[in-house]
Amino acid sequence: MKDTHGLTNPLARKEGLIVQELPDEVLVYDLEADRAHCLNETAAFVWQHCDGRKTAGEIAKLLGKKASAKVDERIVWLALDQLGDSKLLARRPAAPAPLAGVDRRQVMRAIGLAAIVAVPVVTSIVAPMPAQAVSCAHTSQSCATLTCCQGCVCDPTTSLCTGNC
């Protein structure tokens, strides 16, 4: 019989990411998708404990020890849902039937306002391509896709900015 222990446990994605840990949050830059993710303390804790061996219930117990309070497992499932949507999990387990499709508002109603500090939040933005980060083209740079900086004009014959900019 094949050992399937851990196949349904969450596993954090580690490849193709740049991770910067800060005191109250973790910033994760996805090199493949050019997306930046900011994980609050709770989401970061859950993500950091997704080792493929721990269940959501075990992660909830560890989070409870850290917070010195009982943590409802639904908090972990909410974090897993957000982490999965952000493509930060290599293996995303299916939530148990009663919890499938539960959103943040429903979790808050179910566990009460006392747990508001434990609500996981993953905020994501699309990072601009290097060319998009440039606001204008300088002298001798192409003005085919960018506007010339102040003091320059686009030469229509060369498509380069000319002047003092």
Asked if residue 110 and residue 56 are part of one domain, the reply reads: yes
Give the range of the structural domain holding residue 18, as residue numbers without chain letter: 11-126
**Encoded amino acid at 72, one letter:** D
- The verdict on 120 and 135 lying in the same domain is no
pLDDT at 14: 95
- Residue in 34, 29, 17, 40 with CA at minimum distance from that of residue 126: 34
Question: Based on the domain organization, do 63 and 109 belong to the same domain?
Answer: yes
Count of H helices and E strands in the chain?
5, 8
User: What pLDDT is attached to residue 126?
Assistant: 76
Same domain? For 34 and 69 the reply is yes
What is the per-residue pLDDT for 4?
Answer: 40
Q: Where are the beta strands (DSSP E) in 31-128?
A: 35-40, 89-91, 122-126
3 found inside a domain: no
Residue with tokens 């808050």: 108
Torsion angle of C-alpha atoms 86, 21, 95, 5, degrees rounded to 10: 120
- Is residue 89 a part of any domain in this protein? yes
Q: Rounded to two decimals, what is the model's pTM? A: 0.68
- Based on its alpha-carbon atoms, the radius of gyration of the chain, rounded to whole angstroms, reads 23
**Number of structural domains, the chain?**
2
> What 3-state DSSP class applies to 106?
helix
C-alpha to C-alpha distance for 160 and 148, rounded to whole angstroms: 9
Query: What pLDDT score was predicted for residue 98?
Result: 65
Task: Let me know how long the chain is.
Answer: 165
pLDDT at 60: 93
Report whether 140 contacts 117 (CB < 8 A). no
User: Does 104 share its domain with 72?
Assistant: yes
Per-residue pLDDT of the chain in tens (165 residues, 90 and over written 9): 333 444 589 999 999 999 999 988 999 999 999 899 999 999 999 999 999 999 999 999 999 998 888 888 888 998 999 999 999 999 998 877 666 666 656 666 666 544 544 677 888 887 666 555 557 888 998 887 788 888 899 998 888 999 988
